[in-house]
Amino acid sequence: MTEQISDAAAAAAFRRLVTHLQHRHDAENIDLMGLAGFCRNCLADWVMEATVDAGGSMTRDEARAAIHGMPANQWKQKIPDRSNRGAAQKDEGKRGQKRRRILKTGYESE
């Protein structure tokens, strides 16, 4: 599948996804994790890893600021209070984290 997409098209699509997520404050990370198995922080981690793999340097905070479009502490102030989330939503977020581990490692672990 990825060989069918040019690097230029993949880069443009990725930039569009990042821009879209920067403007969708209502799409919270926990919801993205539950539905898609990844979130903005996952994207930031992938960007950081790819930068380091390519011989560059990027910290976790720099990567998150690049994906969020602002420093993480500012982003957190923009999202709604999550303290009233129910147990079902928290469980869904944990399932998304498990799916991400499986995708990254290729196997299921506890």
In a structure prediction context, what are the per-residue pLDDT tens digits for the chain, which is 110 residues long? 567 889 899 999 999 999 999 988 888 888 888 888 889 999 999 999 999 999 999 999 999 999 999 988 887 777 666 566 566 555 666 666 666 666 666 665 54
* In a domain? residue 110: no
Q: What is the CATH number of the domain that holds 96?
A: 1.10.3340.10
- Which DSSP state fits 17? H
Structural domain includes residue 8: yes
Report the alpha-carbon distance of residue 91 to residue 55 in Å, rounded.
37
- In a 3-state reduction of DSSP, which class is residue 29? helix
Least Cα distance to 43 among 20, 76, 74 occurs for 20
What is the rounded (10 degree) CA torsion for 89, 92, 97, 102?
Answer: 180
Residue 18 domain boundaries: 2-105
Whether 74 maps to a domain, the answer reads yes
Report if residue 80 sits inside a domain: yes
Give pTM, 2 decimals.
Answer: 0.66
Amino acid type, 62: E
89 belongs to a structural domain: yes
- What is the identity of the amino acid at 58? M
CA 63 to each of CA 25, 33, 37: distance values in angstroms, whole numbers, following the listed order? 18, 18, 19
| Domains held by the chain: number | 1
